[in-house]
Structure 1
Amino acid sequence: MTTAKDIMHPGAQWIPAHETLDRAAQMMRDHKVGALPIADKDERLCGIITDRDIVVGCVAMGHDPAKMTCGEMAKGTPRWIEAGSDVSAVLDEMQSHQIRRLPVVEDKRLVGMISEADLAQHLSDEQLKAFCESVYAASMTK
C-alpha cells in the first residue's frame, strides 16, 4: 500500500499565524515553495498561505504585507491527512475539497506536504487524469 508519507515532499515548514505576509514570502523563497501551512500558538494547523494569497489578497488590495499576518489570511477549515493514509485517501481529500496542496501529519506534527508535483511523480496516468479533471474542471465552474 502506497501511503501519504511515501509520496509527500518531506521537511515542510510551518509559519506561525502571527508572522507577517512578507516573512511568509521570504520563507517561500528560501524553501522554494509556493505555500506554507499556518500554525496557531499551539502548533496546530489553522490554514495554508500561498504566494497567490499574498499577491491577490494583500498586495492587489492595497494592503501592506509587512503589517498583515498569515492568521488574517487564513480562511476556511484547513485540510490535512495522516502520514499512514493510503494514496486513495489523499486523492479523495484533495479532489473532494478541490485543493492542490495537502499537509501530511504524523503524531499531530507536520511531516510533509503533498503537491501536484508529488502526485505527478507517484500516480498512474489514469489516477492523475482523474485528479486533474476533478480539481481543475471544478475550479473552472466557480
Structure 2
Amino acid sequence: MSVGEWCNREVIVIKPDESPREAVWLMRKYHVGDLVVVKEDPDGRRPIGMITDRDIVIELMAENVEPEKVTVGDIMSRDLLVLHEEEDLVDASNRMSEQGVRRAPVVNQRNVLVGLLAVDDILEVLAEQVSDLVRIVRKEQLRERRLRP
C-alpha cells in the first residue's frame, strides 16, 4: 500500500505571505485544523511549511502578538516531514512516529503537493485490515462447522 492510495487529495493551502487571520478564516471555512504552506512555482505548489490552529494560539494569542504584525511564514512550522506518494504506508507511518507528527504533506516525483496524510488516514487503513481479519476468522469458523459437524 502506498501513501498516495490513502492520502487526502483535497488539501487546503496558504501562502507564507498571508495573514494569520486569513489562515484562521480558511480553517473555519473548510473545518480543518491545519494548512499546508506552499510556494508557487511553474511546476505547481511546493510545501514549505505547516500552520495549525495550535500554532496560532501558542505563537500569537498566548504571546499577545497582534496578528496584523506577522505573516503565516513567521509562525509556520518549518521542520517539515514530506512524504512521497509512492512511499510505502508502513514506512511513512514509522517516519511520522519517529518525528512525532500527525500530518504530513504528500508530494509527487517532481516534489509538487498532491495530498496530505494524517494519522486518521492510517487508522482507517488499519481498521479495514482488522475487519478483514475478523471476517477471515468468522469464515474459518463457519467452514469448520460445515466440514466437521
The TM-score by the shorter chain falls in which range?
Answer: 0.7 to 0.9
**What fraction of aligned residue pairs are identical, expressed as a percent?**
28
TM-score by length of 2: 0.76
CA contact (8 A) 1:7 1:118 kept: yes
Deviation at 1:4, TM superposition (A): 0.6
Question: 1:125 & 1:98 partners in 2: Cα distance?
Answer: 24
Unpaired segments ≥5 residues, structure 2: 130-149
SS in 2 for 1:94: helix
Give how far 1:74 is off.
2.4
Residues 41-71 of structure 1: per-residue CA shift (max 9 Å, x gap): 5443221000000011111110122332110
**Counterpart for residue 67 of structure 2:** 65
Report the CA distance between 1:39 and its aligned residue: 1.7
**C-alpha offsets along residues 57-104 of structure 1, whole Å, 9 cap, x if unaligned?**
111110122332110012442111011111012112201111011111
Question: What secondary structure, in the 3-state scheme, does the structure 1 residue paired with 2:28 have?
Answer: helix
CA RMSD of aligned residues (A): 2.1
Q: Which residue of structure 2 lines up, in the alignment, with residue 17 of structure 1?
A: 16
Matches within 5 A, 1:1-142: 2-40=1-39, 42=41, 43-106=45-108, 107-123=110-126
1:92-118 per-position Cα deviation (integer Å, ceiling 9, x unaligned)? 220111101111111322111111211
The DSSP-based 3-state class of the residue aligned with 2:17 is coil
Distance in 2 of aligned mates of 1:67 and 1:112: 30
Which residues of structure 1 form unaligned runs of 5+?
A: 127-142
Taking the aligned partners of 1:78 and 1:122, their CA distance within structure 2 comes to 24
Residue correspondences, number? 126
Structure 1 length normalisation: TM-score? Answer: 0.79
Compare CA radii of gyration and give the structure with the larger one.
2
Distance 1:40 1:67 in 2: 21
**4+ residue stretches of structure 1 with deviation over 4 A?**
none
* One-letter amino acid matched to 2:112: R
After TM superposition, give the deviation of residue 125 of structure 1 in Å: 9.2
